[in-house]
Amino acid sequence: MIQETFSQGHSPIHNLTPRTRTLAAILLAFIIASCHELMPLLMALGGAIILIFTARLNLFKAGRRLLVIAGFLLLIWIVLPLTCGGPVIWQNSFLKIGQTGIDLALELTLKTSSMLLIFLALISTMSTADLAHALHSLKLPPKLVLLLLITYRYIFLIEDELQTMLRAAKIRNFQPGTSLHCYKTYANLLGMLFVRSAERAQRVHKAMLCRAFDGHFHSLTEYHNRPQDYCFLGFILILSVVIIIGEWQIVTLPAIF
Amino acid sequence: MHIAEGVLSGPVIAAGFAVTAVGVGIGLKKLDFEHIAETGILAATFFVASLVHVPVGPSSAHLILNGVIGLLLGWAAFPAIAVALLLQAVFFQFGGFTTLGVNTAIMALPAVVCFYLFAPLLKKPGKIASTAAFSCGLLAVFLSAVLLGGALYFSNENFFEVATIAISTHIPIMIIEGFITLFCIGFLKKVRPEMLP
Amino acid sequence: MKNMHTHSHHHQNNAAAVLALKELSFHYPEGPTILDELNFKLHERDHIGIAAPNGSGKSTLFHLIVGLLRPTAGSIIFNDKKITEEADFKGLRRQVGLLFQNADDQLFFPTVIEDVAFGPLNLGKSKSEALEISRQVLARLDLTDFADRITFKLSGGEKRLVALATVLAMEPKVLLLDEPTAGLDHKTKHKLIDLLNSFTDLSYLVVSHEFDFLTETTNHIYTMENGKILVDEELHIHHHEHAHRSGKQPHRHI
Amino acid sequence: MKNMHTHSHHHQNNAAAVLALKELSFHYPEGPTILDELNFKLHERDHIGIAAPNGSGKSTLFHLIVGLLRPTAGSIIFNDKKITEEADFKGLRRQVGLLFQNADDQLFFPTVIEDVAFGPLNLGKSKSEALEISRQVLARLDLTDFADRITFKLSGGEKRLVALATVLAMEPKVLLLDEPTAGLDHKTKHKLIDLLNSFTDLSYLVVSHEFDFLTETTNHIYTMENGKILVDEELHIHHHEHAHRSGKQPHRHI
Ligand SMILES: Nc1ncnc2c1ncn2[C@@H]1O[C@H](COP(=O)(O)OP(=O)(O)OP(=O)(O)O)[C@@H](O)[C@H]1O
Ligand SMILES: Nc1ncnc2c1ncn2[C@@H]1O[C@H](COP(=O)(O)OP(=O)(O)OP(=O)(O)O)[C@@H](O)[C@H]1O
Ligand SMILES: [Mg+2]
Ligand SMILES: [Mg+2]
């Protein structure tokens, strides 16, 4: 079941306008993505943790979201230390663990988890409809925003259709397995899902025509920044500057430009 | 198939956004308002369908289906996939803002390539059309895996082995996607041929 | 079939005809004839019901009226003007509201208020005007609290009412309602009955398989057969019975 | 509400109970209670109707019975055996056929025959056996000519009948029918009524908002309220009236 687990809530973060949160999340994401050094990445992780607490997210549920990247992190922690060379830390007759790989794996771990936590704290705390309107106010093309709104609206319906069809297969004793019968059944089910969606799309288009739609999307939402929005943006700017300075102190200027 | 945030280097992120911006631009331009509802709803279907887990031996894999979406939408696959990936980021934290460009390109570029390669063959009689459908599913996933590997490798040469592993784990999935695409296109051909290009 | 006449023979009304269909014929490309020289008039404040078998072309007829499909022959006359061009149909669609057979097809935005305001915004209203109209319509349907609800989380009956709100927000003169009661329970059905009975200044045409519902909401019930709209005398008996009944129970109407 | 008793108080039948629900409770994760210590017995050859408001939990109840959802408390007893494990439910599903509220959800193969044969194939029948069973079932429902039709292009009523065929192809002992008449016209409804009345060797439980349909196809009508199945005396009056009526019109039954 698709769920917006964190979108409802009361916290200083939930009180910010979606535009403020989106802007902050995008800014931080790109800054962190360009960092490589330990200090700024630790600061970013610190900032991310502060944001998670400020958003008053259920820590258990938020922690579970980190599992999304666990598989990938496990892979790089196994592979990179063995393959990247650098000063040898430990070795036996088969394996050699190198410093470069450990540094890289640590860097990726810090980056990935801080970016995920920031996304969780700032973006997952709004409904996707709000995100769409925020992106609209940040000048994403209106057609794309409309597409996002429609897609979001119908995923729940279509997921429901899919689940119901899977249940219908189940009550007819269908058991998934590695077999052509199984793949064929899934393919037919999905084919039916696509066909039903295309039919629905025709009806929806007609319904849009009935409401005088002519291709231009007008958003209802207007954002008015309040003091807390300015305060928060200020905080994010300071955090960004601190992270950038942290990165600069080690990397010489010409290397960045 | 997606790359987590924080893995890609600046130039790769920029290249991903450049490709995706062009693709989405062309897609939106070709998308007259007659087809907005269709593209949005098919994007939703694509999103939902890619949540389906199919058994692969003792483990399971989720479907990718970018071959099918390419055949159904052509260039509009770009905006559709971009939107679906943004929703995946929001709901499941698969990727995020910085990887949106690369991840979209990884899935949508093969979709468009397969559209041009295989769409004309689907109308041909029996065997040719079936082979085309199977190849479409297989090749779309293969190209995506290669692009994903490439994006990793160009971000940092030390990712070579990780990229190789990522590509090779997709081999069984390619075959399954081939079959699923074959049957799925067969279904559409029987039931609603006007959906196919 | 003995006791059936075509609609035009039977229905006499001196008020102006808002909508007239003249010898309207239609078939889907390569399909059989669905409508066959159909004649029909809807007068001001007419409340007309249509009960006809599955596949007899009721939804098709509604789609033809608002120009979502084009007739293969015959004409649609709205406010004494023959409607042929898309531009004319655009004007017509502002005044003729269609409630779709499936509410989910008609609610394509995540939140209720966005959805209701979509029509007025497309008609060129400003944001604040559109919001104002939407709030009023929602209030009229007792849905004020629904404004910020997520459409896909509404129940079937709630969706139907919100879909009606999106249609009413376009301020139509004529309503076409396609099986508004399918799958609704008795309570919601009665809410809908009360609502329709409160639309004294609108004309409407309702398709339904439920005679009880039709008798409570319409003055005439027709059927469709062989691509034509017919008067079904048997149904009229139901109707008169109703007239009598609702006379006794005025509390059912708002 | 005065004239309502819970089901168990009222219903007396000395035949064996095929299906018994004991103190069954259910709520969706983080949702309110939907079923609250519900008790119910279905005996052999029982034909029981349930009429209850939208959202009262009828579809949920059906899904619980066939193990698509798991109760939060209480038990499901089938043929005197308590069903708890998925393996037991698998056995139960061979004998309890569920007709979904929406036929479209149940049909996902291109042609009718493929769809009907899907169940028998899953039960381990060979291709030719599965085809043979499917042909027989289609013949029984007067659908022989439909075998090679594209399911998606069938009319609403035809889809419903084919969905029923897919269920019957599993050779169930008990049928659960979830609003089988929604959106059907009178002709198809009567076909369904005749069909149900021909199922003398099956037990079934029908959910419907249409009392006329229930009175023609069932011996008892219950309602659901506050998560329990109740006997509604008012509805029973309808029922007796029906018994009388169908006695006079035996030609309605196959
Ligand atoms: N897009 C289409 N292409 C071809 N045939 C169609 C299409 N839509 C409907 N039909 C056919 O046209 C006929 C009339 O359909 P329509 O939906 O108007 O009937 P209806 O009276 O509204 O039925 P119902 O009571 O089931 O809603 C049916 O036979 C149907 O199969
Ligand atoms: N998957 C779900 N998750 C959470 N709540 C649900 C889910 N499915 C149904 N519900 C809720 O459970 C309640 C009972 O739903 P159910 O579908 O069983 O009712 P019903 O009696 O079949 O109604 P209807 O007459 O509309 O078919 C409703 O309030 C519904 O909103
Ligand atoms: Mg219809
Ligand atoms: Mg139900």
Write out pLDDT tens, residues B146-176.
999 999 999 999 999 999 998 999 999 999 9
Which residue is closest in CA terms to ligand 1's atom 24? C54
User: What is the helix (H) or strand (E) element at residue A29, kind and residue range?
Assistant: helix A18-33
**Which residue is listed with tokens 């399954």?**
B176
Interchain pair C123, A203: CB under 8 A: no
A177 to chain D: nearest residue by CA? D122
Domain residue extents for chain A: 18-126+225-256, 136-210
pLDDT digits (tens, 9 = 90+) for D113-169: 999 999 999 998 999 999 999 999 999 988 999 999 999 888 888 899 999 999 999
Instruction: Please list every residue in chain B whose beta carbon sits closer than 8 Å to the beta carbon of residue D150.
Output: 190-191
- Local confidence band at D238 (pLDDT 50, 70, 90 cut-offs): very low
Distance CA D140, CA B120 (A): 44
pLDDT at D60 over 60: yes
Q: What is the mean pLDDT of residues D84-108?
A: 90
State the distance from the centre of ligand 4 to the C-alpha of D55, rounded, in angstroms: 7
CB atoms within 10 A of CB A115: 30
State yes or no: pLDDT of B81 exceeds 60. Answer: yes
pLDDT above 90 (res D249): no
**C131-159 confidence digits (pLDDT tens):** 999 999 999 998 999 998 888 888 888 89
Query: Considering the entire predicted model, what is its pTM?
Result: 0.87
CA D72–ligand 2 middle distance (angstroms): 16
Q: Which atom of ligand 1 is nearest to the CA of D185?
A: 25
Query: Per the domain annotation, does B96 fall within a domain?
Result: yes
Neighbours of C82 (CB within 10 A): 12
Q: ipTM of the assembly?
A: 0.85
Asked if residue C247 has pLDDT above 50, the reply is no
pLDDT tens readout for residues B7-33: 999 999 999 999 999 999 999 999 988
Burial class (CB in 10 A: 0-12, 13-18, 19+), D207: buried
Range of the domain at B78: 10-195
Calculate ∠ Cα A86-A89-A90, nearest 5°. Answer: 125
Domain-embedded: residue B5? no
Judge whether C115 and C107 are in contact, CB under 8 Å.
yes
Chosen for mutation from A122, A147, A179 (greatest number of chain B CBs closer than 10 Å) is A147
Q: Is residue B3 part of a domain?
A: no
CA C108, B77, A209: angle at the middle one, nearest 5? 30
Question: What pLDDT sits at residue A250?
Answer: 56
Decide: B158 and A101 in contact? Cβ < 8 Å: yes
* Mean pLDDT on C200-204: 92
Using alpha carbons only, give the angle D174, D178, D183 rounded to the nearest 5 degrees: 135
DSSP conformational letter for D184: -
Select the residue from A173, A182, A202 to test the D interface by mutation, using most D Cβ atoms within 10 A: A173
Residue corresponding to tokens 């997952």: A124
Tally of domains in chain B = 1
Measured distance CA(C48)–CA(C237) in Å, rounded: 15
Q: What pLDDT does A93 receive?
A: 79
All residue ranges of chain A with pLDDT < 70 are: 1, 250-257
Could you tell me which of C175, C177, C222, C179 has the C-alpha nearest to residue C203? C175
Shortest CA gap A54–chain C (Å): 25
Please name which ligand lies nearest the alpha carbon of D60.
2
C225, β-bridge pairs:
C228
Residue C150 DSSP code: B
Give the domain CATH number at B172: 1.10.1760.20
Q: Name the residue among D68, D104, D110 with its Cβ closest to that of A171.
A: D68
Determine, yes or no, domain membership for B116. Answer: yes
Q: In what helix (H) or strand (E) does residue D40 lie, and over which residues does it extend?
A: strand D33-43
